[in-house]
Chain A
Amino acid sequence: MRNRILGMLMLLFFISSCTEKKLPILGYKIAKVTVVDGKEVIDSIYPTIPDFEFTNQNGIKVNQETIKNKIYVADFFFVTCPTICPRMKKNLLEVYAKYKTSPDFLILSHTIDPEHDSIAVLKDYAERLGADAKNWHFVRGDRETTYELAEHGYYSTAMADSTEPGGFVHSGGLILVDKQKRIRGIYDGTNANETKVLIQDIETLMNEKE
């Protein structure tokens, strides 16, 4: 009897160790044509975040080199936002507190109001929030480039709208991106419970075998 129980426990342990949780990869696969030995080879791959270049709160360029081999969370906000941004930042602070010492983790917060949110304004905002520019970049760039990246890169929303409080409309999504620049999850940044799921999923992604 004891041997049977022991056997069942070993089987359960074996099964659980084999079922590694993996996060989904978001987006529809696209065809990629490469030439191998003079022949065209068509492969289907998941979409990745397009290359970009912004400037962070310290005036330093942030681009694909910054996110190379990093897991990161992206969001869109503006400093004078009177609606969802403070709630999002409060929840992002929870994420930051958990992973700020992790060398392969970053947060990229994109301003959608670069006219107001100068580098000096972003620096003050970041410092008051307690964010270190080593691993939490508050970035600004050309307005249209940012909106384009939000919509087509991150499946998010960001645009000017004079009828909205603060003059802009944007998604409250926190977007989780893996080291291959693929989106692995989108979470409601205004919701504390969804932020807890994000924190767990970052851990899952960090433990994922490449």
Chain B
Amino acid sequence: MKKSNLLILMFAMTLASCGEQQMPDNMRSLATGYEMYSVHCENCHGAEGEGLARLIPPLKNSDFIKKYPDSIAGIIRHGQKGEILVNGIKYNLAMPSNSVLTDDELSQLVNYVKIRFGSVKQ
């Protein structure tokens, strides 16, 4: 991840943890994305997006996110079944769908995942 993105994320996480209301919109979006990641994704994909052995694919340095950034929202919303290739390793554990996230939260989560793990410019 680029240094500038890392700083933005760290700032957003700090603000999120402080419950800061007076933050710019892009910061608030990232802070919400971080919160959503902590609640809905971290248990399986890990705090650093490291995944779990050959069971759960990593998000950090994932070639899948770079290759298919437009598929992330659909996977989070509808889940993932069947084999998936990430960084040359085949994963096959089903990922559950998520109907709890609002459209805004989903969008902010996808944005956060892309910026943090997909090296997408802010």
Contacts of A128 in B (CB 8 A): 53-55, 93
Contact segment of A33-41, A84-92, A154-162, A199-207: A84-92
- Assess A129 versus B55: contact at CB under 8 Å? Given A80-B94, A165-B96: yes
Q: Mark B48-71, 1 if CB is under 8 A from A, else 0.
A: 000011111000000000000000
Q: Mark A57-85, 1 if CB is under 8 A from B, else 0.
A: 00000000000000000000001101110
Contacts of B46 in A (CB 8 A): 90
Which residues between 89 and 120 of chain B lie within 8 Å of chain A, taking CB atoms?
Answer: 92-94, 96
Contacts of A124 in B (CB 8 A): 92
A130 CB–B CB distance under 8 Å: yes
For residue A200, give the distance in angstroms from its CB to the closest CB of chain B: 23
A130 and B96 form a contact (CB under 8 A): no
Contacts of B56 in A (CB 8 A): 86
CB within 8 A of B52: which of A89, A127, A165? A89
- The number of inter-chain residue pairs (CB within 8 angstroms) is 36
Task: Report the interface size class on chain B.
Answer: 10 to 19
Give the docked Cα–Cα distance between A82 and B92 (Å): 14
A125 CB–B CB distance under 8 Å: yes
Contacts of A79 in B (CB 8 A): 93
CB within 8 A of B43: which of A86, A125, A127? A86
Contacts of A166 in B (CB 8 A): 96
B residues within 8 Å of A by Cβ?
43-44, 46, 52-56, 92-94, 96
Contacts of B54 in A (CB 8 A): 127-130
Number of interface residues of A (CB under 8 A): 18
Contacts of A125 in B (CB 8 A): 55, 93
A residues within 8 Å of B by Cβ?
79-80, 82-84, 86-87, 89-90, 93, 124-125, 127-130, 165-166
For residue B57, give the distance in angstroms from its CB to the closest CB of chain A: 11
**Which of B46, B55, B92, B93 has the largest count of A CB atoms less than 10 A from its CB?**
B55
Give the docked Cα–Cα distance between A79 and B53 (Å): 14
- Assess A93 versus B96: contact at CB under 8 Å? Given A82-B44, A86-B44: no
A84 and B43 form a contact (CB under 8 A): yes
Chain A to chain B contacts (Cβ below 8 Å), 30 pairs: A79-B93, A80-B93, A80-B94, A80-B96, A82-B43, A82-B44, A83-B43, A84-B43, A86-B43, A86-B44, A86-B52, A86-B55, A87-B43, A89-B52, A89-B55, A90-B46, A90-B52, A124-B92, A125-B55, A125-B93, A127-B54, A128-B53, A128-B55, A129-B52, A129-B53, A129-B54, A130-B53, A130-B54, A165-B96, A166-B96
Contacts of B96 in A (CB 8 A): 80, 82, 165-166
Question: Whose C-beta in chain A lies nearest to the C-beta of B40?
Answer: A82
Give the docked Cα–Cα distance between A100 and B96 (Å): 32
**Which of B46, B52, B94 has the largest count of A CB atoms less than 10 A from its CB?**
B52
In the A-B complex, the 7 residue pairs with the smallest Cβ-Cβ separation, listed nearest first, are A128-B54, A86-B44, A128-B55, A82-B96, A129-B53, A86-B52, A87-B43
Give the docked Cα–Cα distance between A124 and B93 (Å): 10
Contacts of B92 in A (CB 8 A): 124
